[in-house]
Amino acid sequence: GAGVSQSPRYKVTKRGQDVALRCDPISGHVSLYWYRQALGQGPEFLTYFNYEAQQDKSGLPNDRFSAERPEGSISTLTIQRTEQRDSAMYRCASSGYRDRVGKLFFGSGTQLSVL
Amino acid sequence: DAKTTQPTSMDCAEGRAANLPCNHSTISGNEYVYWYRQIHSQGPQYIIHGLKNNETNEMASLIITEDRKSSTLILPHATLRDTAVYYCIVRFPSGGSYIPTFGRGTSLIVHP
SS (H, E, C) chain B: CCCCECCCEEEEECCCCEEEEEECCCCCCCCCEEEEEECCCCCCEEEEEECCCCEECCCCEEEECCCCCEEEEEECCCCHHHCEEEEEEECEEECCEEECCCCCCEEEEEEC
Q: Interface of chain B against chain A, CB under 8 Å?
A: 32, 34, 36, 41-46, 49, 85, 87, 89, 91, 94-95, 97-105
Can you tell me whether residue A75 is helix, strand or coil? strand
Residue B99 pLDDT: 77
Can you tell me whether residue A61 is helix, strand or coil? coil
Mean pLDDT of A5-30: 96
Partner-chain contact A104 B100, CB within 8 Å: yes
Q: Any CB–CB contact under 8 A between A109 and chain B?
A: yes
Residue A20 pLDDT: 98
Q: For residue A40, which residues of chain B lie inside 8 Å, CB to CB? A: 104
Residue B95 pLDDT: 39
CB neighbour burial string for B50-74, b if at least 16 within 10 angstroms, e if fewer:
beeeebeeeebbbbbeeebebbbbb
Each residue of B20-44: pLDDT tens digit?
A: 999 999 888 778 899 999 998 899 9
Q: Any CB–CB contact under 8 A between A9 and chain B?
A: no
pLDDT at B94 over 50: no
Model confidence at A108, pLDDT cuts 50, 70, 90, reads very high
Distance from CA of B91 to the nearest CA of A (A): 6
Strand-pair partners of A27: none
| Average pLDDT value for chain A | 92
Partner-chain contact B34 A106, CB within 8 Å: no
Residue B2 pLDDT: 56
